[in-house]
Amino acid sequence: MKKLLIVESPAKIKTIKKFLGNEFQIMSTMGHVKDLPKKRLGVTINGTVDIEYEVLEGKDKTLADICKAASTSDAIYLAPDPDREGEIIAWNVNEDLVKVIKKGAKIHRIAFNEITQTAIEEAIENPSEIDQKKVGAQQARRVLDRWVGYEVSPILWRKIAPGLSAGRVQSVALRQICEREQEIRNFKPEEYWTVDGTFKHNKEEFVAQLSHIGTKKADISDQKTADAIVSDLKKESYIIDSVEDKTRKKNAPPPFMTSTLQQAAYNTLGFSVKKTMQVAQKLYEGMPLGDESSPVALITYMRTDSLRLSDTALKQARSYIEGNFTKNYLPSKANVFAKKGKGNTQDAHEAIRPIDVSLAPEKIKRFLPADAAKLYDLIWKRFIAGQMTSAEYAQRQVTLTGGKYIFKVTGSTLIFDGFLKVYTADDDEKEQKINLPKDLKAKDPVNLNKIDPKQHFTQPPARFTEASLVKALEKEGIGRPSTYAAILNTIRERSYTTLDERKRFVPTELGMTIVRMLVENLPHIMNVKFTAHMEEDLDKIANGEMERDELLKNFYSTFKEDVKKFGGDKKAKKEAIATGLKCPECGKEKLAIRFGKSGEFLGCMGYPECSFTSNFERDEAGQIKLVEPKKVELLDEKCPQCGKPLREIQGKFGPFKACSGYPECKYIHREKANFDCPQCGGEVVQKVWRGGKFWGCDNYPKCKFAVFDTIIDKPCPKCKWPFLTEKSTKEATEILCANKECGYKKEA
């Protein structure tokens, strides 16, 4: 009996092959194979919501090969990832398979949370069908995103600048960043003072802070008040009013789900959200532990918002703790965790955990790339720590009085480390190491040896990092585990934000302008609560509690009216933001922020009578300052056309070299490939666009040859095409032949 198993990622094939042997042929879709059309909306409402799909560019051969193998198979198992994206991949592939399979052959949908022999064999023995409710939920999300992107983006092109885009969830996330920046700009620091006293008891000293004056909290707003209090304090005698001792417990942390793994990896390892998910994908799919031909899957599925753990996992953890630690580290029963916050938990998957706890990080570290070893270490330790006993602290609070003045200090000593023996990486409560004398007793006199008044100022809220933005999105119920990486990736790649020196998001003027316009004109899609409610409705579709078309029609009825009003006057001028700065050239008109092909700039509102323009920046308070243009630095290289020196220019997409004789000479230096254009024989040069760099024929537009992937300067070993390309996806990195007729590919 011939069997075919179809997975999403080619990296899984080796891992699964060793479990199933030769009875199964295993093939990969290499991600999605179909999507909505590239050049048209692809969604129509004719009583029902009809969705049009087309095969993605470069996937024709992949799909054809799968169909060819399926046509001779007796049983086909669709095994893309066990989430909504995986379900739509299975559904799209199934559309083509049903047309080619032989009579009597059956198509099954299987899913597994971990790539182990037991999990895969169990899935094959208990096949199911494609979950149409999950498919409906994914389609609803995709259509919502298509409507917003397809219908709003052209309005932004017309009103602000060409090439801009809007996204249903990304724009709401950008709003969070912009509103935080506005809070920072509007923030007015307030002065306050604290007073520390150094007290001596017998021969030991300790520090306590002024807490209350009489019955009121010590609220000191200026130096004059602080000085008066310090003067008063020197006149008083002090005693210990009370000493309170208690034990405080700190509970073990839950295992990771997607969002908490992303936050912990960012905070402790410095990994971006995108990097975390790429490395986790490899750990899930399998990595060789000494034997290249036999990769081992190391963690469970990494896109989950569940904290649930299987009985098998709990038994593994408890057995490991019992065998490697003393009995006081093992609780009497397994720790169980529940998710807090907004949004439904999709409990189809477990939390993220190691598949085999006996593969301790130190055992396999030497076999793994450094980043994979670090992330596995984090996941393994968090899982084990989560099933250990609480840490315990002896906590002592001492209150001292002198007249109407009350000082307090709390000391904390770790008396049993519990789970901290294994995991302390993201310990948010940095325990203060305050050592207090052991022989302190109530009514004992103490001497005030030193008074230390300190001036402080309130601080503005912090800008978002990737980790804190994920935390905020999760708290508000925006997005889902499978979307966080894509949301952040889009925000980072667009020119709507930059990163400051501490890798925190700073919105650009363009980002702020887009958010303001969208909030004013499309209040529904920019509303945080509305977006969170939409996520809940998508979950309802997946759970069979709501129909796909019901959600889509309700959304579109309001959305189309908002878009119609927003589109408004098609002859309206481009958006310009007036500032309070007077034009230094004409002295009459004010300057305005405008948006051009090379980014944002200041321009005189008296244009075209006054053509003054300038670069600008904002200071910490948000005030605009003009920036003097940099002096042109000439290079040692000569222009090959006119002989004048080349100069380096900072363009919209980065620096480039051009002739200093511009505009008389318009030469621009371009990097050339070591091969001629395979289509017309012209030169292949490096070009730039909003999406980054690519290689294209210099005879454009007559010749439209272009390569958007990384070029490897080696001929194809199969067809002798002059170069290969390297393409990276979330699943894997592959070396491919750029000749579509060849089909050569291998893993990088």
Catalytic-residue membership of 301: yes
The residue assigned the tokens 């032989």 is 102
Other beta carbons within 10 angstroms of residue 420's beta carbon come to 18
3-state secondary structure 449-465: EEEEEEEEECCCCCCCC
CA-wise closest residue to 734 among 7, 11, 8: 11
CA-wise closest residue to 236 among 213, 218, 217, 216: 213
Helices (H), 346-389: 361-364, 370-385
Catalytic residue among 77, 284, 301, 423: 301
Burial 339-354 (b: 16+ CB within 10 A, else e): beeebbebebbbbbbb
Burial group, residue 502, by CB count within 10 angstroms (0-12, 13-18, 19+): exposed
Q: Extract the tokens encoding 115.
A: 């790539």
Contact (CB, 8 A) for 51 and 82: no
CA-wise closest residue to 515 among 185, 183, 173: 173
Q: Extract the tokens encoding 571.
A: 């002859």
Longest dimension (CA), the chain: 100
Burial group, residue 232, by CB count within 10 angstroms (0-12, 13-18, 19+): middle
Q: How many residues does this entry show for the chain?
A: 748
CA dihedral 514, 519, 523, 524 (to 10 degrees): 50
CA dihedral sign of residues 675, 677, 680, 686: negative
Cα–Cα distance measured from residue 397 to residue 411, given in angstroms and rounded to the nearest whole number: 6
Burial 157-171 (b: 16+ CB within 10 A, else e): ebbbbeebbbbbbbb
Contact (CB, 8 A) for 24 and 4: yes
Q: Extract the tokens encoding 524.
A: 């529904």
Active site members: 301
